[in-house]
Structure formats: C-alpha cells, structure tokens
Structure 1
Amino acid sequence: MVEDTSLCYNALKGLPGPYIKWFLEKLGHDGLNRMLAGFDDKTAYAQCIFAYTPGPETEPIVFVGRTPGRIVPARGPSDFGWDPVFEPEGFEQTYAEMEKETKNTISHRYRSLDLLRNYLLEHAEKS
C-alpha cells in the first residue's frame, strides 16, 4: 500500500500537485498564496490517493479522495504542511483552523481512506 497527497491549483492546471511538499519547503505559505497573484481563480482541490494490491501478481487498485476548496492567505497554526492556506468549500476556516474532528470527516485523506476501508470490508466478507 502506498499513499500520496497533492494540493492542486485549478488556475495552474493541477500544479503544484504531488510536488506540494517541495513548493512549500522553498516558498513557504506566503509563496504558495502568491503563486496565484496573477489569477482570478483561487480554487483548488486537496487530493489523496491510496493504492493497494493484495499481492505481487495483481495490479494496484487506486482510491482517490478529493476535497474542493480555495487558496487563501495563511490562517491558523502552521505546524502541519499547507493546511493554513487551504479553505475547503462550504467552510470559512482553513484546515489549520478547524477542529481535528471536523477536518477528519471532510478531508481528502478521509475520503480516500473511506473508499479503501469500504473495499477491504466488502472483499473480506467475500473471503
């Protein structure tokens, strides 16, 4: 099983995407926000992908979780990646400002893990 997380800006056709860790490392939260300075479109989506295979002779099964939102100036604690600059659609808080319980029921990772969990439960029942 492998997992990867991306932050994808719609105006930049999906960038920084899976390279978000390195963009954040080099640019910081302010730089992530400034990347969209010349664009009206500040929408983005957070994406998590889990890939699972039951064995070496089978193709991986991919589980994609997405949370739509927008890029905003950094707000909230800055101790967890790009959470301060991502505001999920339908909320007025960034991931960083949210209670963990709330974030963990709407996040891209939760959605992807939920798909994986359902798959494993369904296939465990058939065994």
Structure 2
Amino acid sequence: MLQGFPTHHAHALCTFAYSPAPTPETPSPEPILFEGKTEGEIVPPRGDKVFGWDPVFMPDEGNGLTYAEMDPVEKNKISHRYKALSKLREYLQNLDQ
C-alpha cells in the first residue's frame, strides 16, 4: 500500500459547521466553520481495528503510536476532531460575552 509514493505524510482533518439562527438582519446566515488538523503519516497497520483508518495513521504528536495503538483519552487530546470541537466550543462560550 505504501510503495510507490514519494512521501507517507498525511493529515487528519475535521470540520464542524455552526449555523446561527436567522435574524431580521441576517435571514440566511452563512455557516461558520471550525477546522481541526492533525499532522502525521501513513504507516503499515498497527493496533486494534476499532475505527476505520486508525491503525494506519500515526500522528506526529503520538510518540510513535498509531491512533489505534493510543489510549483513547490520549488520542482524544490530540485528535483532529478534538481540535475542531475545541474551536467550536470556544466560539459558543464567547457568544454571550
């Protein structure tokens, strides 16, 4: 699977979209996008096959482990989903300020 490619670099990307409620001033508000990205590389499969491509994605921040080999709590601290959701959470928390 990895042969023939000049690089094994990859990134995991997650985007959450938030659509504000319509108002008289903005009856069709544009969704606001929050992106999370984790850099890494594609490696031969290692670890439990719990979720799709987790065994072949080794994040740069993962101490040499694939997503599948990582403790779920540790994985969630660096995951692309967590990063995107953190940005959305921060945005929502600041709406009332």
Fold match by TM threshold 0.5:
yes
The residue that corresponds to 2:48 in the other structure is 77
Q: Deviations over 1:23-75 (max 9, x none)?
A: xxxxxxxxxxx1x4211310000000001111252100000000000000000
The residue that corresponds to 1:98 in the other structure is 70
The residue that corresponds to 1:42 in the other structure is 8
The residue that corresponds to 2:32 in the other structure is 61
1:8-27 matches, cutoff 5 A: none
The residue that corresponds to 1:108 in the other structure is 80
Using the size of structure 1 for normalisation, the TM-score is: 0.68
CA distance in 1, matches of 2:89, 2:7: 34
Using the size of structure 2 for normalisation, the TM-score is: 0.89
Tell whether 2:57 aligns with 1:86.
Answer: yes
Q: How many residues align?
A: 91
The residue that corresponds to 1:4 in the other structure is none
CA distance in 2, matches of 1:52, 1:103: 24
| Percentage of matched positions with identical amino acids | 53
Runs (5+) with no aligned partner, structure 2:
23-27
Q: Who wins on radius of gyration, i.e. which is larger?
A: 2
Structure with a larger share of its residues in helix: 1
CA distance in 2, matches of 1:121, 1:61: 15
RMSD: 1.1
